[in-house]
């Protein structure tokens, strides 16, 4: 199993500012994923973060808006840049188990409100 810690757990930010969300895992993992969950909606994958390479973004998400760092095998950050109220969501970090035929693990999320 993997235990994921996300910081901050919640924040209220002014529009036009940026917020960096941290994701720390208690073991080394190959792939880390970032999701957004808008109010009342399901989770949408933002990007896949691999250590030592650029993140791979899903359609509709761009690096300028959501820059991601992955400096080592246990840590990643997601920045939400130049925020607007539409960015108000829960942002979640996820990791793969590192083994075939097992499950993914998710953090508890960062609840972001942009005012």
Partner 1 sequence: DAKTTQPPSMDCAEGRAANLPCNHSTISGNEYVYWYRQIHSQGPQYIIHGLKNNETNEMASLIITEDRKSSTLILPHATLRDTAVYYCIVMKTSYDKVIFGPGTSLSVIP
**Binding residues vs partner 1 (CB under 8 A):** 4, 30-31, 33, 35, 42-45, 48, 92, 94, 96-97, 99-109
- Smallest distance from the beta carbon of 82 to partner 1, in angstroms? 26
Contact assessment for residue 50 and residue 103, using Cβ atoms and an 8 Å cutoff: no
The tokens 């960096």 sit on which residue?
A: 20
- Smallest distance from the beta carbon of 16 to partner 1, in angstroms? 27
Q: What is the DSSP string of 6-54?
A: EE-SEEEE-TT--EEEEEEESS--SEEEEEEE-TTS-EEEEEEEETTS-
Measured from the CB atom, is 18 or 108 closer to partner 1?
108
- Smallest distance from the beta carbon of 29 to partner 1, in angstroms? 11
Measured from the CB atom, is 14 or 42 closer to partner 1?
42
């Amino acid at each position: 199993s993997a235990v994921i810690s996300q910081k901050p757990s919640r924040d209220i930010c002014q529009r036009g500012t940026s917020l960096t969300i941290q994701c720390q895992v208690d073991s080394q993992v190959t792939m880390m994923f970032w999701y957004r969950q808008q109010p009342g909606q399901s989770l949408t994958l933002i990007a896949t973060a691999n250590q030592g390479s650029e993140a791979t973004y899903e359609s509709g998400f761009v690096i300028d808006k959501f820059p991601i760092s992955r400096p080592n095998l246990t840590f990643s950050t997601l920045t939400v840049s130049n925020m607007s109220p539409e960015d108000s969501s829960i942002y979640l970090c996820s990791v793969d188990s590192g083994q075939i035929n097992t499950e993914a693990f998710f953090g508890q999320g960062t609840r972001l409100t942009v005012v």
